[in-house]
Amino acid sequence: MTGASGAVYGVRLLQNLPGEKILVMSETAKTIIPAETGYTPEQVGAMADAVYSDGDLAAPIASGTFDYDVLFVVPCTESSVAKFACGIADTLISRAFMCAVKEGRKTVLVVRETPKSAIMLENELKLARLGVVIMDANPAFYHQPETVDDMVNFVVGRCLMQAGVKQNLFRTWGEGPSD
């Protein structure tokens, strides 16, 4: 989790993603989490199986030999996108990203920024061309969300779908109305 607004997306993903979960929170994310979610960073950390400091470049996930299915950066700042696009790996989050890309692992960035400058769009395009999934935190409305939770669930459900996980957080296009 980086320091973008939208910490609720990262929390909800931790709550719904099955399997082993490893969490890294940037220092800014630790500040934003309580402001946006009511959780403390410690409470969010308890939702994961392992938590590493963003400064711990010796953590297992800093190695390309560490095996996992999907790397999510949720929420993802445009500053992080810029670092990723330039190959800067000076934190555990950016190092884990570099390893994911070089190893060809599924990587999903849930970017939470609007409007976007040409620089931001060019950085995202560069990463998309490398196979990175750029998923803006944009909810759909065809499932007729009634609450903020419904909109958050849509974005997190789309994350789960990217990981190949069956989701039941929202009604997909073509499914009948929810009961």
pLDDT single digits (tens) 56-94 = 999 999 999 999 999 999 999 999 999 999 999 999 999
Full-model pTM: 0.94
Nearest Cα neighbor of 45 from 2, 14, 6, 76 is: 14
Contacts of 128 (CB under 8 A, 6+ apart): 134
- Domains in the chain and their CATH numbers? 7-162 (3.40.50.1950)
**DSSP-derived secondary structure letter, 19:** S
pLDDT single digits (tens) 112-137 = 999 999 999 999 999 999 999 999 99
For the stretch 39-58, what's the b/e string if a residue is b when 16 or more beta carbons lie within 10 angstroms of its beta carbon? Answer: bebeebbebbeebbebeebe
> d(Cα 69, Cα 149) in Å, to the nearest integer?
27
164 phi/psi in degrees, rounded to 5: 75, 20
